[in-house]
Structure 1
Amino acid sequence: MRMDHVSYACEKDGLLATTERISAALGVDAVRGGVHPRFGTRNMIIPLADSKYLEVVEVLDHPASDKAPFGQAVRARSAAGGGWMGWCVAVDDLAPFEARLGRSAVPGNRKFPDGRELVWQQIGILGLIADPQVPYMLKWEGDPSLHPSKVYESDVKMSSLTIAGSAERVTEWLGEPVEKPLEDVAVQWMAPHGTPGIMSVTFETAAGAVTI
């Protein structure tokens, strides 16, 4: 179990403009991800060090976005002005989470222009919608070289999160101590005054620490 990525729902001026602001703040280039046909969303990627990445995601005017929980989550966060939507933990086995949550993981995919395909299984978006402090869980499948963090080698490191919520709640959700996936990322837990969830993420860049 490890921290895989953080997701930022685009702001009112759309995916490209939102991504450009974030990539400029970090001093790196973003790359086009693509469309998630099962979820009715599309994303752009900023690779990070230590096999992590930041995705900026936008909901599409597509029937899938009304039905898929991930599309619903992106739509709701963007409608509220955009910002940090959630974080994701990569695991080797989703079966314990399927058993505990009482539902099956759902497949996700994104095709590259050259025909290659990024594929995965995920679970926990409904939990994130209900309680945005908790992560969703993902199992990557297929070629590991297609992981979004591998688009280019990045020196930008995710160093810390500020989350409105509690370590105890997230530990209960994961079934393991929350420190396990966050062993190389510091977390400041704050009592939520309103909706729980990620309040900010700090990155170590060539120009110093940047908090978004």
Structure 2
Amino acid sequence: MGCILDHIAVAAPTLEAGAAFVTETLGVSPQAGGEHPRMGTHNLLLRLGDRVYLEVIAANPAAPAPGRPRWFALDSLPGNAAPFLAAWVARAEDIRTWAEKSPEPLGPVEAMSRGTLEWLITIPEDGALPLGTGPALIQWQPGVHPASKLQDHGLNLIGLEIHHPDPKRVSRLLESLALEGPLSVKPLPEGAAPYLEAHIDTPRGVRVLRAAR
């Protein structure tokens, strides 16, 4: 089995700003998540399916600096930046094997935790996002997936579009990871900034979360 779309990440200068953005777009407020001690970040969560969720992530002002670049390129986010769909994460059963198959450098495999949850994840040493939009690879410790513990508001991720000026390069990466999930690649003009769009079915109809442009 290949890698599977696990979650999408909204980057924000503060959790409050990220929550307001998600609530305005989807009509549902994300619920409390927790803190990531090794990264100096914290998050909010929203279920998007049985084993899929949305994460709002921001630097934690109450935590000490991590002594290394934070993940999801959060250190490059200005304090007045608008929240945006920044990245996505794919689940793997053997993260190191799949990371080695990638034609793009995904970063070292790191051990992380949030409360009682523990996992392995790829993080570039400079905190950047592979190809500007992700993915990161994640391997959860055996047990219940985090999405199953979240309140079900009837939201479902029905499509994630990767808009990129080098679609062949992105497609090559997806193929190397044998990715499963509602993913598609859309071409952009040469030199254009890549971005993501998530199409999410809600009780009020399909809504679209977009990246900053």
Q: Give TM-score, length-normalised by structure 2.
A: 0.79
Pick from 187, 198, 203: which aligns with 1:201?
198
Change (3 A) 1:142 1:50: closer
Change (3 A) 1:171 1:134: farther
RMSD (CA atoms): 2.7
**Partner Cα separation in structure 1 for residue 95 and residue 11 of structure 2:** 25
Which structure carries more helix by proportion?
1
1:153-209 superposed Cα distances (whole Å, 9 cap, x missing partner): 34211112232225532343355266x322xx25251315532231x2111111111
Change (3 A) 1:9 1:104: closer
- Contact conserved, 2:167 with 2:187, CA < 8 A, in 1? no
SS of match in other structure, 1:58:
strand
Give the aligned residue type for 1:91. Answer: A
1:114-147 superposed Cα distances (whole Å, 9 cap, x missing partner): xxx01100014458535223311000014315x1
Structure 1: state its 5+ residue gaps: 112-116
**Partner Cα separation in structure 1 for residue 29 and residue 83 of structure 2:** 21
- Contact conserved, 2:99 with 2:137, CA < 8 A, in 1? no
Give the aligned residue type for 1:190. Answer: P
Give the aligned residue type for 2:199. Answer: T
**Partner Cα separation in structure 1 for residue 85 and residue 106 of structure 2:** 27
**2:114 corresponds to 1:110:** yes
**Partner Cα separation in structure 1 for residue 45 and residue 114 of structure 2:** 13
> When the two structures are aligned, how many residues end up with a matched partner?
198
- Contact conserved, 1:48 with 1:149, CA < 8 A, in 2? no
- Matched residue, 1:96: 97
**Partner Cα separation in structure 2 for residue 177 and residue 122 of structure 1:** 15
**Partner Cα separation in structure 2 for residue 118 and residue 197 of structure 1:** 29
- CA positional deviation for 1:103: 6.1
- Contact conserved, 2:167 with 2:186, CA < 8 A, in 1? yes
* Greater displacement, 102-111 / 54-63: 102-111
- Contact conserved, 1:7 with 1:54, CA < 8 A, in 2? yes
- Matched residue, 2:9: 7
Structure 2: state its 5+ residue gaps: none
1:62-90 superposed Cα distances (whole Å, 9 cap, x missing partner): 321x504416x122245554311100000
**2:50 corresponds to 1:50:** yes
Give the aligned residue type for 1:164. Answer: H
Identity %: 22
Change (3 A) 1:95 1:175: farther
